[in-house]
Amino acid sequence: MGKERGRILVVDDEPEIVKTVGLRLKASGYEVLTAGDGIQATSIAMHDHPDVIILDIGMPAGDGHLVAKRLRDSGKSMIPIIFLTAHTSKEDYEKAFEEGVAKYITKPFRPEELLAAVEELMERCA
């Protein structure tokens, strides 16, 4: 395959989630960056310019809400964020949209749904 379709940052404190999501994305032709906590995620997002960020909410060092806020405050708000989380409460969901998060997908997720969301956001940015 030639050039990648886009660069996606996958952030989750569970390495196996990062691995499975990464596998899916790579199989669909995306370049994948990974981070295991919020601090790492913020730094990678700042320096490596991903097209889309797939972000967990519940993480020990800097949760997803905080990462989303930090990125927006630092002027990186253009990078669309997909929350991929085991938090299913309506409050989390509504908070995410107030924060300007583009998609909210709950675990366990359907790979088709995640890929469709990534694709849609890639198109929106193009």
Partner 1 sequence: MNAQKPLSILIVDDDPDHVFLARAALQRAPHWVVETAGTVAAAKEKLREAAYGAVVADFRLPDGEGLDLIDSVPPDTAVVVMTAQGNERVAVEAMQRGAYDYLIKDISFPELLPDVIQKALNRHRSRIEGARQQATVRKENRKLVQANQKLKELDAAKSEFLSTASHELRTPLTIIREFISIMRDGLAGPISDDQRECLDSALGNCDRLETLINDILDLQKIESGRLRIRRRRSDVSSLLRQCYHDFLPRFATRQQTLELDVDPSLPPALCDEDKIGQVLINLLGNANKYAPNGARVVLSAQTRGGRLVVSVEDDGPGIPAEDQVQVFEKFVQLNRQHGKGAKGTGLGLAIAKNIVELHEGDIWLQSTLGAGSTFYFTLPLFTEDRAVEALVRDRLLITEVSGAELTVTLVKIDPESAAATFADPEARRQTLEHLQSIATAQLRRREDEVFVADSETMLIIITESDASEGEAIAERVTRAVGETLGVRARLRQATVTVSSGIDPRDWIAAARERLSPVEVALAGERSA
Amino acid at 58: G
Q: Is residue 108 reached through a cis peptide bond, with omega within 30 degrees of 0 on the bond before it? A: yes
What sign results for the dihedral spanned by CA atoms 61, 125, 26, 96?
positive
**Integer Cα distance of 63 and 60 in angstroms:** 7
- Residue 107 interacts with partner 1 (CB under 8 A)? yes
* CB of 42 vs partner 1, minimal distance in Å: 22
- Residue 61 interacts with partner 1 (CB under 8 A)? no
Q: Considering only the stretches 1-9, 40-48, 68-76, 103-111, report the one whose residues sit in contact with partner 1 under the rule CB under 8 A.
A: 103-111
Closest to 54 measured CA to CA, from 69, 71, 34: 34
Structure letter (DSSP) for residue 62: S
* CB of 23 vs partner 1, minimal distance in Å: 6
- Residue 93 interacts with partner 1 (CB under 8 A)? no
Q: Which of residues 5-34 bind partner 1 (CB under 8 A)?
A: 14, 16-17, 20-21, 23-24, 27
Which stretches of the chain bind partner 1, using CB under 8 A? Answer: 14, 16-17, 20-21, 23-24, 27, 58, 86-90, 94, 106-109, 111
